[in-house]
Amino acid sequence: MKWQFRPTLETSRATPPNGKRRCQGALLVAATAGLILAWAGPAHSAEPDHGTFSFVLENDLFAGFDRDYTNGIRLSWTSGVDEVPVWALRAARVLPMFPDAGTVRASYVVGQSIYTPSDITRENPPGDDRPYAGWLYGAIGLMAETGTRLDQLQVQLGVVGPYAFAEETQTLVHEIVGSDKPQGWDHQIHNEPGIVITYERSWRALAAASEGGLGFDATPHIGGALGNVLTYGNLGATLRVGYNMPNDYGPPRIEPSLPGSGYFERQDEFGWYLFAGFDGRAVARNIFLDGNSFEDSRSVDKNIFVGDLQVGIAFALGSTRIAYTHVFRTPEFDGQNNADKFGALGVSVQF
């Protein structure tokens, strides 16, 4: 087997109750159906890339828990190359953290994240456990890629508290699948408008491929977030190995997380890769633990240093990419005795 090295790829807390098990089964069946439908799409690599739609579901059911970061959903649209408004192209050329050259894309996102204490059956959760909280947001992003480097800037605007409708979302889903009804949402964090500005830079520092299609690469990253919802600095890296690997920077995730890319390069041949990565964060602000900014609310003492370890697999064929990620997160606050675990299912389709 002959390997060729090059700087980059070619670019264009408890055992779940019966109700929880039923929830797992129902969602896994739905996920399987979604995969089948996604794979049914046509594969035409010659078609232009006008944009990519991505759906990400993160849930602790994949780890058998119902606590802490319990659910996240994210819908996004990433534009095709340079198919962005004029102001976005100009911004990408003048922003000091962006490269002078490279392809430019824009992204548009809506999402919701839900956090709960360890026992959702208690009407008045203990004060030293994670508060109930929800985050409903929209975001607009800008990204520039040179082939060896990806810069991503995003601005999220939303609301924390009852207006995030996390209680209604969780209650409805639990009613549908016959799981335990959450009882303690009366003690959730209060309403507060939120803003988060995130920036990530990823480098494809090492890439190699054999003539038979087997390849690997390494992508370190550095970035951070600033806002009243989240403020942190982070760094880490991702390793990939696979066959006919789709040209991307890993599957998309929900912040805070390792960075990925909402887009990928369309290909006729079936490709896949295994990936593993880590991310370390120094956290100055986390409203889901610190509580509201301007009024008293439930809160706990957060840990300043938090780490994520993720492993997963991604598949790509034609206009479709499907990925599953399993995440291990170190304790985020005093009194959280165990690491947080959850899974992320992502489906991306080009149009």
pLDDT tens for each residue of 255-297: 999 999 999 988 888 999 999 999 999 999 999 999 999 999 9
Helices (H), 109-229: 166-177
Which residues on adjacent β-strands are paired with residue 232?
225, 283
Residue 5 has a pLDDT of 47
Question: What is the enclosing helix (H) or strand (E) of 39?
Answer: helix 18-39
pLDDT band at 36; cut points 50, 70, 90: very low
Q: What is the pLDDT of residues 310-327, one digit of tens each?
A: 999 999 998 999 999 999
Enumerate the β-bridge partners of residue 246.
none
Ranking 133-142, 194-203, 264-273 by mean pLDDT, the lowest is 264-273
- The least confident of 122-131, 146-155, 260-269 is 260-269
User: What is the chain's mean pLDDT, rounded?
Assistant: 87
Predicted confidence at residue 48, as pLDDT, reads 64
Which residues fall within 8 angstroms of residue 297, CB to CB, at 6 or more apart? 131, 189, 190, 291
Q: What would the mean pLDDT of 58-79 be, rounded to a whole number?
A: 90
Q: Structure pTM? A: 0.87
- What band does 151 get if pLDDT is binned at 50, 70 and 90? very high
pLDDT classification of 211: cutoffs 50, 70, 90: confident
Alpha-carbon distance of 57 to 36, in angstroms, equals 16
- Quickly count: other Cβ atoms within 10 Å of residue 128's Cβ: 12
List domains and CATH numbers for the chain: 3-350 (2.40.128.140)
Per-residue pLDDT at 305 exceeds 90: yes
| For range 158-171, the mean pLDDT | 97
pLDDT at 22 over 60: no
Task: Return the beta strands (E) in the chain as ranges.
Answer: 3-6, 51-59, 68-79, 103-116, 133-145, 149-160, 192-203, 206-210, 214-227, 230-243, 267-286, 305-318, 320-329, 340-350
